[in-house]
Amino acid sequence: MAEQRLWKAALGRSDEAEQCGALKPLKTEIVSLGSWASQFECRRLQSRLPRHLQPAGPKPNPFRPWDPNLEVEGVGRGHMLILNKYPVQRGHMLLITRQWAAQTGWLNKEDWHAVQSVDQDTTGLWFFNSGPLAGASQPHRHLQLLPRNKLTAICPRATWFETRLSQQSDAQQGAAQLGALEHSCGVRARDSNEQDLYRLYTDLVVELGLGDPAKEPVPRHPYNLLLSPTWIAVILRNREKARGFSINGLGFAGYLLATDDSDVAWLKRHGPEELLKAVVA
């Protein structure tokens, strides 16, 4: 069982960072989604939209240098684990590259080794947004981790991804039976932490038509990546927003954030899956 030392360190650092003003947790309230509440959690932002999410001119890179008040721990020679400055969940961490690397580029072996190093101690829901059209707010490479323990569900839509795995193993499941979300999403089982995640990632992006990291400089399409202790998923994207909702990888995990621009009434009428269908490739 993972020791969760890094999660504990992140919580301790969160207390210190909030006291000095470096950490600015977002204030939210739950939006009732009725029959969809078992698969989606929607929160309405009550505090002001963070500057990095506001559609204004060029923004400074917050990761070069990163704020030392948000630092959790170095990971190998190439990565640093820091706190998300604007968390909804306490302990939300970012795994960033120490040197510049583009968010729109392929995740490389070193990135995946760093993920596995953290994951051996503190696991949970990892997510990655490959660029602006996939919901990334920063161009500097960063993967994100929402820590979980064994008593906590990995995410609201975990069952959806587990069902996709069983469908893929069913020889009777034809492509004609799949909907827009299924067509845009590839899922693979994750057997253990010792598994070669870079190879798993490479196989998945090639299968989805994103390209071959060994042969092409950048992915052909924007995408989101989700990683749980038991599966990895990649979702192809064609746009970032729908009905005033900005959708990143967490949207496909079942977490939505509503702002003043979001059409919550439409969401309640049509359901969150229709929102996700509007932004996939």
Lowest mean pLDDT among 112-121, 178-187, 198-207, 241-250: 178-187
pTM value is: 0.94
Supply the mean pLDDT for the chain: 93
Query: What is the CATH topology of the domain spanning 5-277?
Result: HIT family, subunit A (3.30.428)
User: Is a pLDDT exceeding 60 seen at residue 240?
Assistant: yes
Q: What is the mean pLDDT of residues 10-20?
A: 98
pLDDT tops 70 at residue 220: yes
pLDDT band of 53, cuts 50, 70, 90: low
Query: What's the pLDDT score for residue 224?
Result: 98
Per-residue confidence (pLDDT) for residue 170, from 0 to 100: 61
Is pLDDT above 90 for 194?
no
pLDDT band at 84 (very low <50, low <70, confident <90, very high): very high
Q: Would you state the pLDDT for residue 177?
A: 64
User: Picking from 31-40, 171-180, 207-216, which range would have the lowest pLDDT averaged per residue?
Assistant: 171-180
Q: What is the pLDDT of residues 92-142, one digit of tens each?
A: 999 999 999 999 999 999 999 999 999 999 999 999 999 999 999 999 999
Of 77 and 59, the structure prediction assigns the larger pLDDT to 77
Q: Which residue has the tokens 């609201």?
A: 156
Confidence of residue 168 (pLDDT cuts 50, 70, 90): confident
pLDDT at 175 over 90: no
Query: Is the pLDDT reported for residue 30 higher than 70?
Result: yes
User: For position 58, what pLDDT does the model report?
Assistant: 64
Whether the per-residue pLDDT at 171 is higher than 70: the answer is: no
